[in-house]
């Protein structure tokens, strides 16, 4: 204990107030009046949302249809502390973003409530009225303006007013102060005139607590509340929100194309950065940084942490440490996606020969994975099952592994449900839905996901790989330390699959000439591969 802690003041001061101990801000009326005076309007430029407003309204209507007569509570989620008083960049819950159309920066602590309005008497003929509760911009005559580092305009910039959001979203807006009563009023059993709530749980623990308390206080027999039944009610809402995203609307498809185009630009930046990466002790970080710079320049963020994996690191499926060297002659597996300002993300992988040319064995493995991807692509037809893509791709991989003498059983046995020996070298699924989340629609029922029918409007990945670890004694040495994945983003249409990421070359020769073309433009020639 030091002297300061022995003083009466520091002993009695609560810890959560001590964050202000470094503040020297005066609190006199004269100071407050001066800070509040003489400001012109901010002239803030909020991104246009008119384009998404109608789509978001249609999504709310679809959800309204499933939960007539019930209050639906969909939180954006709070800011999350990264360290002490520094937060992570805010990103709303994807279900909230989907139903409001809000992306980029909007709106910590906000909650969307769909209030039952009677059959067909809600917004646009739906059965609910939607209201967004959020913390609007406060006046410059408040202390919050210059003193609140989490929401004050002086600290984080201007935020929307209630009226601005109402006009831009086509959605009623109310100050967040009204939230508690909006969630808790009239809660109770429908048979006694009460309203039952469904909540997207585990997004904002304050809202979870509010709903739990309201349910407890209004239950007929509070001491015997069946929490499992209530959880199941809530889970049905999360499930419905997830399933609603299985089919993308036109606006979402545009956003996916934007995200993929930005991702393609990021891959070009990585190729440009490779010569420097090859000379750097943490070359993988050079690659990660090059992609991230482009993601921030043209999009909101990364959709997920970049996997920049050279050599044996490429055999670690989610290698995001990215601390490795990139050695001459190795393959670089780059799995990266830009998240657009709308929060839709791409998810693309290319495996590049860092010197610009595949060795014979690298090419052999690469082409097997490419053939598997092409088989997956051929299986991805409207009317087929989602799971057919994986079956088609992994059958090709099993065949190649058998040809190379690596599979300890026949191809038939390997592809059987109990066999699956090829999984030693390809242990992940071939496809997942893609959208606001990189692994989108994750709460959808299995019969609509893995056993679902491929339908126009779905967006998903095809991403087979082969991963031969350095320490794998079941394979000849020549394969060890080679990891290959090829991942494309696919839009299903009535005419078949469209590869949204086709602007990035996939064939081995095309990759080589694409890389050579980039270096020619840079006028620097192919990277030499010299390591420091």
Residues that bind ligand GLY (CB under 6 A): 304, 335, 347, 432, 438, 463, 487
For 402-422, the DSSP string reads: HHTT--SS-HHHHHSTT--GG
Residue whose beta carbon is closest to ligand GLY: 335
Q: Which of Mn ion, ligand GLY, none binds 294 (CB below 5-8 Å, type-dependent)? A: none
User: For ligand GLY, which is the closer residue by CB, 460 or 468?
Assistant: 460
* Least spacing, CB of residue 99 vs Mn ion, in Å: 25
Whole-number Å distance between alpha carbons of 48 and 469: 49
- Tell me the torsion sign for CA atoms 260, 265, 271, 273: negative
Q: Which of ligand GLY, Mn ion, none binds 304 (CB below 5-8 Å, type-dependent)? A: ligand GLY
Q: Which of Mn ion, ligand GLY, none binds 153 (CB below 5-8 Å, type-dependent)? A: none
CB 484 within 8 A of CB 366: yes
Q: Which of ligand GLY, Mn ion, none binds 129 (CB below 5-8 Å, type-dependent)? A: none
User: For ligand GLY, which is the closer residue by CB, 312 or 461?
Assistant: 461
How much of the chain is in helix, strand and coil states, percent to nearest 5? 45, 15, 40
User: For Mn ion, which is the closer residue by CB, 102 or 334?
Assistant: 334
User: For ligand GLY, which is the closer residue by CB, 116 or 376?
Assistant: 376
Count interface residues toward Mn ion (CB under 5 A): 4
* Least spacing, CB of residue 304 vs Mn ion, in Å: 7
Q: Residue 3: helix, strand or coil by DSSP?
A: helix
User: For Mn ion, which is the closer residue by CB, 198 or 294?
Assistant: 294
Q: Which of Mn ion, ligand GLY, none binds 399 (CB below 5-8 Å, type-dependent)? A: none
User: For ligand GLY, which is the closer residue by CB, 211 or 438?
Assistant: 438
Decide the pairing of beta strands 172-175 and 128-134: parallel
* Least spacing, CB of residue 439 vs ligand GLY, in Å: 6
* Least spacing, CB of residue 335 vs ligand GLY, in Å: 5
Q: Dihedral, CA atoms, 279, 476, 512, 373, nearest 10 degrees?
A: -120
Q: Dihedral, CA atoms, 409, 413, 416, 422, nearest 10 degrees?
A: 20
Single out the residue of 204, 234, 330, 335 in contact with Mn ion (rule: CB under 5 A). 335
Question: With binding defined as CB under 5 A, does residue 347 bind Mn ion?
Answer: yes
User: For ligand GLY, which is the closer residue by CB, 153 or 463?
Assistant: 463
Q: How many CA atoms lie within 13 A of 372 on its CB side?
A: 31
Whole-number Å distance between alpha carbons of 370 and 207: 47
Binding track over 479-518 against Mn ion, x by CB under 5 A: --------x-------------------------------
Whole-number Å distance between alpha carbons of 357 and 40: 60
* Least spacing, CB of residue 485 vs Mn ion, in Å: 7
* E strands, 163-281, in order: 172-175, 197-199
Footprint on residues 445-464 left by Mn ion (CB under 5 A): 461
Nearest to 306 by CA among 333, 280, 285, 288: 288
Q: Dihedral, CA atoms, 500, 506, 511, 513, nearest 10 degrees?
A: -80
Whole-number Å distance between alpha carbons of 351 and 508: 9
Nearest to 505 by CA among 373, 317, 313: 373
* Residue 202 DSSP class: T
Question: With binding defined as CB under 5 A, does residue 437 bind Mn ion?
Answer: no
Footprint on residues 162-221 left by Mn ion (CB under 5 A): none
User: For Mn ion, which is the closer residue by CB, 203 or 462?
Assistant: 462
* Least spacing, CB of residue 425 vs Mn ion, in Å: 18
* Least spacing, CB of residue 307 vs ligand GLY, in Å: 6
Q: Which residues bind Mn ion (CB under 5 A)?
A: 335, 347, 461, 487
């Amino acid at each position: 204990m030091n002297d300061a802690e022995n003083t009466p003041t520091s002993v009695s001061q609560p810890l959560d107030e001590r964050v202000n101990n470094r503040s020297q801000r005066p609190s006199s009326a004269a100071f407050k009046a001066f800070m509040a005076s003489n400001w012109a309007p901010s002239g803030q430029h909020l991104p246009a949302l008119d384009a998404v407003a109608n789509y978001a309204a249609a999504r709310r209507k679809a959800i309204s249809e499933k939960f007539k007569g019930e209050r639906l509570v969909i939180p954006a989620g709070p800011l999350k502390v990264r360290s002490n008083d520094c937060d992570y960049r805010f990103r709303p819950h994807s279900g909230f973003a989907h139903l409001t159309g809000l992306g980029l920066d909007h709106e910590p602590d906000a909650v969307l409530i769909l209030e039952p309005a009677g059959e067909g008497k809600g917004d646009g003929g739906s059965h609910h009225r939607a209201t967004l509760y959020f913390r609007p911009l406060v006046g410059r005559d408040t202390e919050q303006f210059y003193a609140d580092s989490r929401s004050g305009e002086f600290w984080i910039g201007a935020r929307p007013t209630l009226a601005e959001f109402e006009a831009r979203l086509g959605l009623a807006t109310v100050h967040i102060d009204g939230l508690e009563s909006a969630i808790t009023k009239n809660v109770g059993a429908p048979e006694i005139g009460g309203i039952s709530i469904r909540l997207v749980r585990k997004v904002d623990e304050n809202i979870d607590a509010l709903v739990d308390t309201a349910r407890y206080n209004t239950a007929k027999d509070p001491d015997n509340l069946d929490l499992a039944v209530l959880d199941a009610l809530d889970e049905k809402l999360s499930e419905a929100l997830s399933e609603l995203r299985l089919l993308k609307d036109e606006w979402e498809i545009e956003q996916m194309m934007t995200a993929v185009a930005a991702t393609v630009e990021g891959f070009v930046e990585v190729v440009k950065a490779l010569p420097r990466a090859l000379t750097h002790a943490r070359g993988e970080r050079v690659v990660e940084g090059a992609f991230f710079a482009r993601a921030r320049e043209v999009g909101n963020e990364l959709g997920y942490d970049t996997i920049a994996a050279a050599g044996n690191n490429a055999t670690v499926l989610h290698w995001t440490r990215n601390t490795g060297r990139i050695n001459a002659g190795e393959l670089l597996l780059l799995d990266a996606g830009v998240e657009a300002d709308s929060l839709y993300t791409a998810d693309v992988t290319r495996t590049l020969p860092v010197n610009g040319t595949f060795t014979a064995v690298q090419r052999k493995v690469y082409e097997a994975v490419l053939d598997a991807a092409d088989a997956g692509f051929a299986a991805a037809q409207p009317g087929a099952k989602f799971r057919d893509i994986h079956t088609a791709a992994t059958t090709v991989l099993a065949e190649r592994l058998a040809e190379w003498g690596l599979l300890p059983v026949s191809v038939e046995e390997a592809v059987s449900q109990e066999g699956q020996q090829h999984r030693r070298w390809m242990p992940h699924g071939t496809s997942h839905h893609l959208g606001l989340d990189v692994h989108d629609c994750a709460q959808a029922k299995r019969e609509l996901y893995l056993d679902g029918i491929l339908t126009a409007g779905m967006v998903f990945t095809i991403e087979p790989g082969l991963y031969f670890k350095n320490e794998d004694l079941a394979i000849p040495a020549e394969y060890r330390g080679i990891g290959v994945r090829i991942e494309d983003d696919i839009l299903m249409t009535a005419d078949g699959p469209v590869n949204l990421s086709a602007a990035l070359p996939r064939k081995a020769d095309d990759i080589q000439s694409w890389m050579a073309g980039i270096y020619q433009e840079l006028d620097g020639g192919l990277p030499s591969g010299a390591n420091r």
